[in-house]
Amino acid sequence: MAQETVHVLAVYFAATGKAEELEETLRELVQPSRAEPGCLRYELLRSQDGYGEFVFVEEWASEEALELHRQTDHLRDAKARAEKSIGSLPRVIVYHRVA
């Protein structure tokens, strides 16, 4: 049986007045993350309501690929830079397809 891919939704909320700053930091993650082995999908979305909510929609070939992503310097550095522009803790949810 083939291994199922892993799906991730990572939701970030900008602090008041910090949406543009947060977007810039999060955008910097897209290209290096897409280049990682096992990355099948890595998209950054921004809400249209003006409240500064951002969502990464990710798909990884395996749990191992996701774990390697979590250990990358570019993710670690972006998290440190984003701390001053987020309004609340990000919500990261990992999913497995059921149907």
Per residue in 69-96, pLDDT tens? 999 999 999 999 999 999 999 999 999 9
CA–CA distances in Å: residue 21 to residues 26, 29, 84, 86: 9, 14, 9, 9
Mean pLDDT of 47-66: 95
Tell me the two tokens of residue 81: 């830079």
| pTM exceeding the 0.95 threshold for the entire prediction | no
Query: CA angle, 76 as apex, 37 and 42 as ends, to 5°?
Result: 40
